[in-house]
Structure 1
């Protein structure tokens, strides 16, 4: 059964607003905690090399349950699964306060990561089903801007907590925000009917996922997503070690260094909202990705010419984030619509493949960073973005030609 499409107005935006409050809670659950990880590893008496594991396990937690949440929401309705997921995340944020060692802390970070799957496999699928194509992209870009307050405020708040209070209060604040979003979603989220009548069984889920993953267009578009988003994810994961430990910045200087980088992402999303009605859908990707390549090249130049490293790193990362803002929401829409399977399952398939890529690359760079330092970081960023100009570039061109042809026939 297809859901009637809503037009974007003040009333219909209340649901995305409630969803983005939860998204903000989940993101700040990473961005506020990462700056505090050096203090947390010290408190538990373990090496600071474990600091990025807090983020990679958080991401892995999302990948571990997406396979179930998406198909479950196809069969039970999105709203029930969404509310259960928000409640579970909130409770995990409170339980982590009882951690006695780093193992318990990291295990609870894994459980908290389920919040990421709730957003990507249930929340985003609902947005794409509720609004028409261009409105859905605008909503995703506007939501991204609100949720970007998390990585903007997170490092500064994290630094404040380390210097003046305790990391524990960060999780209390996150739980309060998450519980608030629960009531907003309960009142404003559309109560959409199930999108499939097939019973929930491992066999049916397997057949659905098999159909999605056997679709070469889906695989190509979904693998293109981490190529664009991983440079910024690596920045969030590694910048505490890179800027504070290696380059001697204070916690507050580290926090301020995030503003131009994440401000670039906000600017990119604002531009996308303004341009999406003026250009053929997909055109902004061909503006954004070359800008990201320029940014990656600047970071490599800074790695060679180290006297200007910090300046070139921040300018380069700002170019990368601006380009990502122009590209990501459109590419995500293309990936989600590349399969005819129920959208909860497709969104879960996107989430699992993306998060697995995030986990593997972040852990690989974390492990090799000790040996190769900023060279590992800068060359990984350049390699990921350069790789986008292979099969994803050709695939997006093909999709745009098809859309132009359909528009001509109509």
Structure 2
């Protein structure tokens, strides 16, 4: 049965709450990370590896979870993932060593991968046309909105109660979903539409055989890697390099993510009137130009917070439009394998996130290095899409 936001607001709200979990896992503990490293006796660069470890386990899990949700349905896979996230948060709340931090984040990667894997496919299962695109844009906006609240609220929680409370709150959020919301959520993938024959490897190979899928997936992933450089380095850059407090960092990080939130909302409106690929192409070109402006600014004024903050804010607005339209396109073009398409996309995103985080572990010490890394990764995406795989050449338009 098809539903839309007007007919089933509850289901739409639950899907939006689900997609917020991965964002909280990434950002909620960021303000506490420098102090966490100092208290537990390991270096800041090692502390940042917890983010890398989270991404690696999420990557590995996604490759399996997407096909599982196509075969066994979205709801049972979702419930298991939420329970795993609760266990991970409880482990992290009792953390007293680097080993527990890495184990906890590793287990949490499985839980957040499940939320990533099922949210957009649930929308695509039951919605068509502009309504599906608008709802997927809304879910992207909620994800970014959680990114806005994550470091800001996390900074307040850490300053008042310590990092254990941060993880207790994450566990409680997942528990409320399991007990109160998910039981009333309908299964969106009926038995007759589930995949039962081909292996998960074959499903991913079929996905990548299509040229348009390859273009969308690779370009979106590499661009995402550029912004992983910013996200992973942000706490240390603002607090160590620019000398801001954890609360000030939380507010600045939240402001910039709020700009992305607005961009995602705007994209949800624009896809009703303009082709998704046109929105991606325009926003992608603006990304390249904005990143070059950022690079020039930080080299002219290397210690100026304003010279960093303003160009990055513009960059994040444009990225909100690009990433939202890219994610919509991948899932919308593959309605019969939405779980595999969504998981394959996020797997590539996380792979590039991991590479970006690894680079930051070496080069996070100045705004110049971070801007140079972001620019280099974006230019790499341009080489891949414009030289190796001409963007959208001869491809059909995505109809609304």
Which stretch shifts more, 37-46 or 320-329?
320-329
CA-to-aligned-CA distance 1:362-384 (integer Å, 9 cap, x gap): 112322335xx433311222223
Deviation at 1:171, TM superposition (A): 0.7
Equivalent-residue separation in structure 1 for 2:200 and 2:175 (angstroms): 31
1:156 aligned counterpart, secondary structure: helix
Aligned length: 396
Deviation at 1:139, TM superposition (A): 1.2
The question of 1:160 aligning with 2:153 is answered: no
Note the residue ranges of structure 1 that are not aligned, 5 or more in a row.
none
CA-to-aligned-CA distance 1:311-352 (integer Å, 9 cap, x gap): 122112211221122222221233335568622222222222
- Determine if contact 1:302/1:312 at 8 Å carries over to the other structure: yes
Equivalent-residue separation in structure 2 for 1:206 and 1:153 (angstroms): 37
Instruction: Identify which of 4, 9, 15 aligns with 1:7.
Output: 4
Equivalent-residue separation in structure 2 for 1:55 and 1:397 (angstroms): 33
Deviation at 1:240, TM superposition (A): 0.8
Equivalent-residue separation in structure 1 for 2:189 and 2:332 (angstroms): 19
Deviation at 1:31, TM superposition (A): 0.9
Equivalent-residue separation in structure 1 for 2:54 and 2:23 (angstroms): 10
Which stretch shifts more, 81-90 or 143-152?
143-152
2:304 aligned counterpart, secondary structure: helix
- Determine if contact 1:222/1:335 at 8 Å carries over to the other structure: yes
Equivalent-residue separation in structure 1 for 2:358 and 2:186 (angstroms): 36
Deviation at 1:191, TM superposition (A): 4.2
Q: Give the alignment's TM-score, normalised by structure 2.
A: 0.90
Distance 1:346 1:259, change over 3 A: closer
Deviation at 1:47, TM superposition (A): 0.8
Distance 1:260 1:159, change over 3 A: closer
Note the residue ranges of structure 2 that are not aligned, 5 or more in a row.
none
The question of 1:402 aligning with 2:400 is answered: no
The question of 1:86 aligning with 2:79 is answered: no
What is the aligned partner in structure 1 of residue 347 from structure 2?
352
What is the aligned partner in structure 2 of residue 185 from structure 1?
182
Equivalent-residue separation in structure 1 for 2:267 and 2:335 (angstroms): 26
Deviation at 1:236, TM superposition (A): 2.0
CA-to-aligned-CA distance 1:187-245 (integer Å, 9 cap, x gap): 1243422434535xxx8222222323344432221111123333333222111111101
What is the aligned partner in structure 1 of residue 122 from structure 2?
126
Equivalent-residue separation in structure 1 for 2:391 and 2:111 (angstroms): 30
What is the aligned partner in structure 2 of residue 271 from structure 1?
266
Deviation at 1:307, TM superposition (A): 5.4
Distance 1:307 1:196, change over 3 A: closer
The question of 1:329 aligning with 2:327 is answered: no
Q: Give the alignment's TM-score, normalised by structure 1.
A: 0.88
What is the aligned partner in structure 2 of residue 299 from structure 1?
294
Aligned-CA RMSD value: 2.5
The question of 1:26 aligning with 2:22 is answered: yes
Deviation at 1:153, TM superposition (A): 2.1
What is the aligned partner in structure 2 of residue 379 from structure 1?
372
What is the aligned partner in structure 1 of residue 215 from structure 2?
220
Which stretch shifts more, 126-135 or 187-196?
187-196
CA-to-aligned-CA distance 1:259-300 (integer Å, 9 cap, x gap): 331122012112112222222332222332233223212221
What is the aligned partner in structure 2 of residue 198 from structure 1?
196
What is the aligned partner in structure 2 of residue 64 from structure 1?
60
Equivalent-residue separation in structure 2 for 1:257 and 1:161 (angstroms): 17
